[in-house]
Amino acid sequence: MTVALAAADPLRTLAEPFVPEDLPGRLPTRGTRLYATVCDPPTRKDGIGVYQWQGDAWRRQQWLPAEGAGPMLADPEGQRLFVAHRAASTGMPAGSAEMMRIDPRTGLLTRGEQQPLALSSRHPVAMALSPDRQVLAVVAAGGVFSLLPVQSDGTLGEVRAAYKHLALPISHTDKASLRFEAAPPESGDGKLQPVQRLSLQLEMRCLEYECAPDGLTFASSREAQFGSPSEADIMLPGVRTFVLQPPLV
């Protein structure tokens, strides 16, 4: 599903009020916020824009400079926004992940500390938050996974485990989605182990990994199964990635 913008220049439009079209029956309710990685028109710098739907158009409330901002996701409570950044062009060996706090009243963002991803994770392409909110998983071009602990206050700790899937042909231009699925197997004594399944959805394949506290293990690969369109299928001109709060239903 494609979202068209009324004005011809997406960069100018994203700084001014704009109206998404081609979303029959799926327009957001008044007050819904859009968090998007965009280019700021006056400076032509990358950043994160915060927009609010005011019944007839999106209007920008905030813009934060964030060079290389890429994949993002919000926690289910809508209190934190996690953002993955690509490596700077100055020879940095890896990108980074950042947690931003969402003001519960205004929806505006407060920056947090960035944590480096695993080595060679220069171009993050997708990320996922575990159901228990304790692990953030990020996959980068080249098949490099990073697992970062989420502290009790929501901040990110240093990379706890890394895994490189050598046979994973994924580039920084590929469309990908990552998600956790709680699937703890039973041990011999009948107790559940802290193992979860991590699924990486690519255009033609779905790959699954077993995610344990000490790292990842490749589990299986199958052909991708396409369901009904979701937010991941919506494209906004001038926007690389975005999050809606609350999500569209």
Which residue matches tokens 């009324």?
A: 6
CA 205 to chain centre: 19
Q: Is 217 helix (H, G, I), strand (E, B) or coil?
A: strand
pLDDT in tens, 104-134: 999 999 998 889 998 888 889 899 999 888 8
pLDDT in tens, 175-225: 788 888 865 555 444 444 567 888 888 877 888 898 887 788 898 888 876
Parallel, antiparallel, or unpaired for β 58-65 and 45-53?
Answer: antiparallel
- 40 confidence band (pLDDT: 50, 70, 90): low
CB 243 within 8 A of CB 15: no
Q: Is 12 helix (H, G, I), strand (E, B) or coil?
A: helix
Residue 101: per-residue pLDDT:
95
- 229 confidence band (pLDDT: 50, 70, 90): very low
Q: pTM (2 decimals)?
A: 0.79
Q: Does the pLDDT value for residue 154 go beyond 50?
A: yes
CB 14 within 8 A of CB 29: no
Across 133-152, average pLDDT: 90
Beta carbons within 10 angstroms of residue 53's beta carbon: 19
Backbone torsions φ then ψ of 113, nearest 5 degrees: -80, 140
| Domain architecture of the chain: domains with CATH | 10-245 (2.130.10)
Interatomic CA distance for residues 127 and 146, integer angstroms: 9
